[in-house]
Each structure stands twice: as structure tokens, then as C-alpha cells.
Amino acid sequence: MVKVIKRTWTDDDVATLKECYQSGMSLKEIGVKLERSLKSISGKAHLLGLKYDDCHRDFYTSEEDRFICENAQTMTRAEIGKLLGRSEGSISLRGRRLGLTFCNPVKNSRYDKDHDFFRVPTLENSYLAGLLAADGWVKPNSQDKVINQVAISLKSGDASLLENIRVSTGYTGAVRNYMQGRYPQSELRICGVKNWVVDLKKNWNIDPVKTYILQPPNEKLLSPEMVRAFLVGFIEGDGYIAVSGGTLKVSVPTASKAFADWIEKAFADISEGRPSRSLHSKSAVTYIDIYGANARRLCHRLMDVGVHKLMRKWDVAVAEIDRHNPRMLNGVVF
């Protein structure tokens, strides 16, 4: 049996621990300095009543605080820490106490991208806005950092769609592949796109926290074709196209009542039919469904929009339209 020998904390060790806490060093850094485990460091700090917030309350000078505030948006935390003789973790903690967010200009400028891609609505960016509204996210901040991130994650089988987005937006970074449990996923994250965050809100009403407050796109700024392109993107992200009960069905779920109202009206206007509406029994999700000839008319008219499409979904509609031998007359499917 191995006998564990515990080292006694000397007065010098305790003094060093307090000094390290005051300097903002991480527990890992303190452990290396004192040659002790993280458990030993955190346990002794707890017994001594040491807290980072208490130690930092008066430790930073007003000049240091002013320097951090003035440079939080132009320098990284590591760069600020180097100039002030402090660790990156210490600067991060102080920034939180000062209510700051830090910008990483190096990361934001690492890859090229078209910063004005969403400025003027087009069919292409309206389609992508719909896809982002369904399966993407807009993230201006991450904890204490400004990242202005627009991102989307799809199953790996749809990675070609992300590649299309990457090329369309002029982004020179790569699509990332990863595993979510047993399922392979593909993801595209684009940071440093403040203009996108602003323009997505202005033109398509896409907010950073959009699940329950998602609003319809701003139709005053969009042509009818752009609205349909947005709807194509949303269906490809969150929609469901399948044969149900021997007939074509198109279904779109949303947790936003305002968006559900808009989808219902859009389906009715485009298909000239009447969609059904149901509420999930165990959640706040509303389903807008349309069936049969109305669904075929809806799909036919949406597929006429000249945007990139995730054909694994629309192929079901194409097969159903062909099966019913439609004839085209002024864009109407009979």
C-alpha cells in the first residue's frame, strides 16, 4: 500500500498563496508555482477565505482600469495583460468587474469575408437569412468578448450546403466537422461580422435570441420573390416535406406565435389553400401544415425561386408533382 505524505503549509506558502491570489493568477498557475495539486490549492484558499473578487476590489489602480477600458476593443486580453504585467485570466476577471466586453481583432481579421453580404436584400441572402432563422444563430457577445458571430450547424450529409454558403459570403475559413454524440455534424462559424448582425436584424428581423421571439421578415424591404426565398431557406432548415397518408405534406414548426401567424398566411397566399395549425401537446411549438394539391402548389412555386436548394427535401415534392401529372399554366400546378 502506498503511503501518501501530505506537505504541511508553511507561513511562506500561505503568504505566496495570498500574493498569487491578489495578482490574479489561476489555480493551475498557483499550483505549478507552489508545486501542489489543484485540490490542495483550492482547499487552502477556501480555508483562508480567499476570493478573487475580494482580492481584486482595490488591487487595480485607476490608471490600470482606464487602460483596460480604453483598449478592450482594440487589444486582446493577453496583450493588455502583457503590458500591465498581469495574466490573461486576471485581465478577464477585472474586465467582468468593470462590465467590459473584449474584442479579438486578430481572430476577427484572420479570414476574409464579404462584410456587406446582407446589406442590400437579394434572393440569395434572403434564402440564407431564412436558413439562419431556422437552424443558425447570431451571437454578438460571448461572456466578456465581442465576437459578432453568425453561424449554422447541419448534419454532415448537408455539408455541401454550408460550403455553398461559405463561397457565397466570400469566407476563406473552413467548414468544421464534429461529432454530436453518435451523429456527425458540420458547422460554419463566421466571426467579426458586425455588419451582418445589424443587417440581419434590419432586413429580416433576426435577433440573437430568436427561438421564442422570432419575427417575420421585414416585407417592406423585400420583394415577394425575396420573401419566398426566405421561406425556402426556413423550410430547408426547420421544415418537413414528406408523403403522409398517401399525399404530400409540408410542415413547419416554430415556438414563436408571431412567426407561426406569418407562416400560416404565407402558405395560404402562395398555395391559395388553407393550411392547418396545431400546438404540440408537451411544448409551446406550433406546427403549420399543408397537404395534397395545396402542398404541391406551394412547393412548385417555391421551387421556382432561383436560389440554391437542399434537394434531398424538395425531391419528395418533385416526385409527388410528377406523379400527379401536373400541367403548368401561368405558374399554377393543377
Give pLDDT tens digits for 21-75.
Answer: 877 777 778 888 888 888 888 888 888 888 765 444 446 888 888 999 988 877 8
pLDDT of residue 22: 75
Say if residue 16 is in the same domain as residue 95.
Answer: yes
182 located within any domain: yes
**126-145 average pLDDT score:** 89
Evaluate if residue 212 carries a pLDDT over 70.
Answer: no
Out of 91-100, 228-237, 246-255, 311-320, which region has the weakest mean confidence (pLDDT)?
A: 91-100
High-pLDDT (> 70) share of the chain, %:
88
Which of 105, 135, 156 represents a domain boundary (last residue)?
A: 105
Q: Which amino acid is at 38?
A: L
Whether 288 maps to a domain, the answer reads: yes
Kindly provide the b/e burial profile for residues 283-296, where b requires at least 16 CB atoms within 10 angstroms of the residue's own CB: eeebbbbbbbbbbb
For 17, which DSSP code?
H
The share of the chain scoring above pLDDT 90, in percent, equals 45
42 and 101 assigned to the same domain: yes
Rounded Cα gap, residues 281 and 91, in angstroms? 48
Residue 331 has pLDDT above 60, yes or no: no
As a dihedral over the C-alpha atoms of residue 31, residue 32, residue 37, residue 40, rounded to 10 degrees, the angle is -30
Domain count for the chain, please give it: 3
Q: Are residues 86 and 129 in the same domain?
A: no
Give residue 330's pLDDT: 43
Question: For position 276, what pLDDT does the model report?
Answer: 94
Asked if residue 259 lies in contact with residue 284, where contact means CB atoms within 8 angstroms, the answer is no
- On whether both 174 and 202 belong to a single domain, the answer is yes
Among 323, 248, 243, which residue's Cα sits nearest to residue 290?
248
- Residue 3 belongs to some domain of the structure: no
Q: What per-residue confidence (pLDDT) applies to 103?
A: 67
* Interior angle at CA 289, CA 331 and CA 297, nearest 5: 10
Distance CA 108, CA 290 (A): 43
Name residue, grid cell 419566398: 228
Asked if the structure places residue 115 within a domain, the reply is no
The pLDDT value recorded for residue 57 is 47
Give the whole-angstrom CA distance, residue 299 versus residue 233: 13
Task: Evaluate whether residue 216 is within a structural domain.
Answer: no
- Residue-wise pLDDT tens digits, 195-211: 999 999 999 999 886 65
Q: Tell me the C-alpha distance between 62 and 64, whole Å.
A: 5
Give the predicted TM-score (pTM) of the model. 0.69
Say if residue 293's pLDDT is above 80.
yes
* Domain boundary residue, one of 185, 208, 231: 208
Same domain, 245 and 325: yes
The verdict on 257 and 318 lying in the same domain is yes
User: Across residues 261-273, what is the average pLDDT?
Assistant: 96
| Helix 292-303 × helix 224-238 angle, to 10° | 110
Asked if residue 53 belongs to a domain, the reply is yes
- Residue 262 domain-assigned? yes
Residue 229 confidence (pLDDT) above 70: yes
Length of the chain counted residue by residue: 334
Question: Mean pLDDT across the chain, nearest whole number?
Answer: 85
Q: What is the CATH number of the domain that holds 322?
A: 3.10.28.10
In a domain, 93, yes or no: yes
Range of the domain at 181: 123-208
Examine the domain organization and report whether 197 and 171 are in the same domain: yes
Residues 98, 24 share a domain: yes
Least confident of 246-255, 278-287, 320-329: 320-329
Which of 105, 138, 153 terminates a domain? The answer is: 105
Three-state DSSP state, 197? helix
> Which among 274, 271, 276 has a CA at the least distance from the CA of 321?
271
| Alpha-carbon distances of 37 from 31, 41, 130, rounded to whole Å | 6, 6, 50
Q: Are residues 183 and 265 in the same domain?
A: no
